[in-house]
Amino acid sequence: MFDNVWLIPLFPLIGFLINGLFGKKIKNEAVIGGIGTLMIFLSFLVSCGILMQMIGLPPEQRVFEKVLFPWIHSGNFKADMAFLVDPLSVIMIMVVTGVGSLIHLYSIGYMHGEEGFYRFFAYLNLFCMSMLLLVLGSNMLVMFIGWEGVGLCSYLLIGYYFHKKSAGDAAKKAFVMNRVGDFGFLIGLFTLYWWFGSNHNIWTVNFVEIKAASHLLPYSGVVTFATLCFFVGATGKSAQIPLFTWLPDAMEGPTPVSALIHAATMVTAGVYMIGRMSFVFVKSPETMMVIAVVGAATAIFAATIGTAQNDIKRVLAYSTVSQLGFMFLAMGVGAFSAGIFHLMTHAFFKACLFLGSGSVIHSMHHALHKIHAHDDAQDMRNMGGLRKAMPITFLTFLVSTIAISGIPGFSGFFSKDEILWMAFANPYHGNLNIVLWAIGAIAACFTAFYMFRLVFMTFFGECRINPKAKGYLHESPLVITIPLMVLGTLAAVGGYLGMPKILGMLPNYFEHWLDPVFELANEYGSTYAHHGAHPSHAIEWGLMGLSVVIALVGIAIAFTMYVKNTELPGKFVATFPTLHRVVYNKWYVDELYDYIFVNPCKAFGQFLWKGFDVLVIDGVVNGVANVVMGFSGIFRYLQSGLIYNYAFSMVLGVVVMLGYFIFK
């Protein structure tokens, strides 16, 4: 029934091979971009077919494992190259292939004229293939192949402009920090595998088999250690405290890369992994608490940084870190469906926002290039008034900003409000609930503020670009604006799939769809939940209204500061210079990491090089060479090449021998 699932990762793999091997010879951008886009779109069509088939089945039949071929069989252990098709993986492949197709199409226009055009599309296809492998893998080893694949592709795409030192440094930073997280993932995998095998002779890494045996897992103990290790892996991939600093630097890659990494693929891997293994995570109340606290802390921390950035893409980067914090908050309070729901809606509006920022940068760069100016095309202080020159980009960007701000009727409202409600009403964390809700609500206020600050600085007011360049500002071509319109529409209406029960206008299709996936996790979670009185509908309505008011307050502050009275930001900076400097410099976390980790590692490397490698290793080798050279300097005189020297040596030798025998 779902036998053609293997085609989903195969198509982008074919696109990677064609463009990677022959793209330099093809040269035609339309052909190269068409191949890359067609391959991921074909995967999207297959995904749609699987979704349609699954909708027609009863919930208990919506799980299917497709074994491609036997892989590792050793004793009692068996891990096949196999794919798992269930409601969760179907949502993920729809997001990856759907949003990925639009990003590929957008890239044809955005990357026009790039010398490495073929290389870029090869990397994009490989990235999508790796992510599809990650979300479809039926066991942790197949997932880990995709897990490492997206890590490799992020390195290649972030460092696409490899001639720039900043791009190379950002790529290396992303690669190294993700390896730290990957180490945690592997330790968790080995721990879980060892525990099941040594205690119950169940030697498996298969998700279905682990789920079937999960009732054997104890609460806390070894499960806490394993899940915390898995969570370390998730913090690396999904950029949570403390492994979040690589994500803002990922802006060094081309804008479509930012959209792909931040919206549809890599950064959602950690959230997906926790959702996939939710039946294990709920066995550890301690880990669930850590996930919730780290998620809430990341949401507020990154949101504060976003308020002071001037680079349009960097604001969106910290927005991504913050929104991922909301997803982890949902996972930590047991609202797994809400977390995945926000993952989906975030993919819609964040991809639209990044691609919209790319459209703005594209127009700015073109206008500045025309007058040979070298102003920063990404600095919002050089923008303003662009809504008139770029109406489609403005409208889609505004819709997505309204969505991410949590305004009723738009997709972000439904998913974010569900998370805030579950943070307050979940039965797992007792008195901490109100703190989690408060932090999330404040972070939502910051989100509305910095996102509308971005909109007002970019699209409203007087245009601050070089006056000579104003006439060259223009709307982007259709190949760029069509993906914006599609994503903007999804950002507006995508939330109606998961309307809260309290609204009652439509059933929560999204939650019902995922019920079979998270049913066991909810059952396990209830065994340690604090079963207090469930808050009333009046409280739920009140908190929903309060969250809307909080978002409107953030928007009002942004409007006052950046439209009505544009002198206020300067006065604020003058009044609180230290606070602004600290926030603008990202709370000096990068500098702290440099001081604690990077610089000592560099110093240790210098010591190993100069103190051990040069003095000891090279010293021994060079010492042996010097000894040989010393002896050779003495003995080389015996081989002078002059016949009379050899004759004299022979005569001298004969005389010495005769003297020895005569006087013996």
Per-residue pLDDT of 19-41, as tens digits, reads: 999 999 998 999 999 999 999 99
Pairwise CA distance, residues 313 & 359, whole Å: 12
pLDDT band for position 528 (cuts 50, 70, 90): low
Label residue 16 exposed, middle or buried (CB < 10 Å: 0-12, 13-18, 19+): buried
What is the model's pLDDT at position 429? 82
**Cβ atoms of residues 188 and 282 within 8 Å:** no
Whether the pLDDT of residue 398 is over 90: the answer is yes
Which residue type is seen at 15? G
Residue pLDDT, tens place only, 157-184: 999 998 899 999 999 999 999 999 999 9
DSSP secondary structure string, 584-643? Answer: HTGGGHHHHHIIIIIHHHHHHHHIIIIIIIIIIIHHHHHHHHHHHHHHHHHHGGG----H
| Rounded distance between C-alpha atoms, residue 123 and residue 16, angstroms | 7
In the chain, how many H helices and how many E strands? 27, 2
Which secondary-structure segment (H or E) carries 72?
A: strand 64-74
Rounded distance between C-alpha atoms, residue 355 and residue 480, angstroms: 8
DSSP letters of 75-139?
TTEEEEEEEEESHHHHHHHHHHHHHHHHHHHHHHHHTTT-TTHHHHHHHHHHHHHHHHHHHHBSB
Rg, the chain, Cα only? 30
Q: Say whether pLDDT at 473 is over 80.
A: yes
Task: Give, in order, the Cα–Cα distances in Å from 367 to each of 123, 228, 359, 466, 477.
Answer: 29, 50, 12, 9, 15
Query: C-alpha angle 412/416/419, rounded to 5°?
Result: 155
Q: How confident is the model at residue 662 (pLDDT cuts 50, 70, 90)?
A: confident
Over the range 301-329, which residues count as b (16 or more CB within 10 Å of their CB) and which as e? bbbbbbbbbbbbbbbbbbbbbbbbbbbbb
Contacts of 15 (CB under 8 A, 6+ apart): 35, 36, 38, 39, 40, 121, 122, 125
Q: Closest by alpha carbon to 231, among 194, 163, 278?
A: 278
CA pair distance 282, 425, nearest whole angstrom:
17
Share of the chain above pLDDT 70, in %: 97
Q: Mind listing the pLDDT tens digit for each residue in 5-17?
A: 999 999 999 999 9
Q: How confident is the model at residue 504 (pLDDT cuts 50, 70, 90)?
A: low
* pLDDT value at residue 505: 65
Cis peptide before 242 (omega within 30 of 0): yes
- When pLDDT is averaged across residues 583-594 and rounded to a whole number, the result is 92
Q: Are 34 and 125 in contact (CB under 8 A)?
A: no
pLDDT confidence of residue 134:
95
Question: Would you say 51 and 90 are in contact if contact means Cβ atoms under 8 Å apart?
Answer: yes
On the 0-12 / 13-18 / 19+ scale of CB atoms within 10 A, 90 is: buried
Q: pLDDT-based confidence at 3, cuts 50/70/90?
A: confident
Task: Give the model confidence (pLDDT) of 434-447 as tens digits.
Answer: 999 999 999 999 99
pLDDT at 46: 96
pLDDT digits (tens, 9 = 90+) for 274-296: 999 999 999 999 999 999 999 99
pLDDT recorded at residue 490: 95
* pLDDT at site 529: 64
Q: How confident is the model at residue 427 (pLDDT cuts 50, 70, 90)?
A: confident
pLDDT at 45: 96
**HSE (CB half, 13 Å, CA atoms) of 353?**
33
pLDDT for 373 equals 83
Q: Does residue 664 carry a pLDDT above 80?
A: no
What's the pLDDT at 223? 94
- State the amino acid at position 459 in one-letter form: F
3-state helix, strand, coil in the chain (%, to 5): 75, 5, 20
Q: Is residue 115's pLDDT more than 60? A: yes
Mean pLDDT value across the chain: 90
Task: Note the pLDDT of residue 184.
Answer: 94
- CA 455 vs. chain centroid, Å, equals 24
Average pLDDT over residues 236-240: 91
Please write the tens of the pLDDT for every residue from 187-216.
Answer: 999 999 999 999 999 999 999 999 999 999
| Position 104, amino acid | H
Residue 171 contacts by C-beta under 8 Å, 6 or more apart in sequence? 154, 155, 156, 158, 159, 162, 252, 253
Q: Can you read off the two tokens belonging to residue 249? A: 């630097």
Q: Based on the number of CB atoms within 10 Å of its own CB, is 529 exposed (0-12), middle (13-18) or buried (19 or more)?
A: middle
Cβ neighbours of 15 (radius 10 Å): 29
Average pLDDT of 340-345?
94
pLDDT given at position 109: 92
Q: For 346-368, what is each residue's pLDDT tens digit?
A: 999 999 999 999 999 999 988 89
For 369-385, the pLDDT digits (tens) are 888 888 888 999 999 88
Q: What's the pLDDT score for residue 577?
A: 92
Residue 531 has pLDDT above 60, yes or no: no
Q: Is 37 helix (H, G, I), strand (E, B) or coil?
A: helix
Residues shown for the chain: 664
User: In the predicted model, is pLDDT for residue 530 greater than 70?
Assistant: no
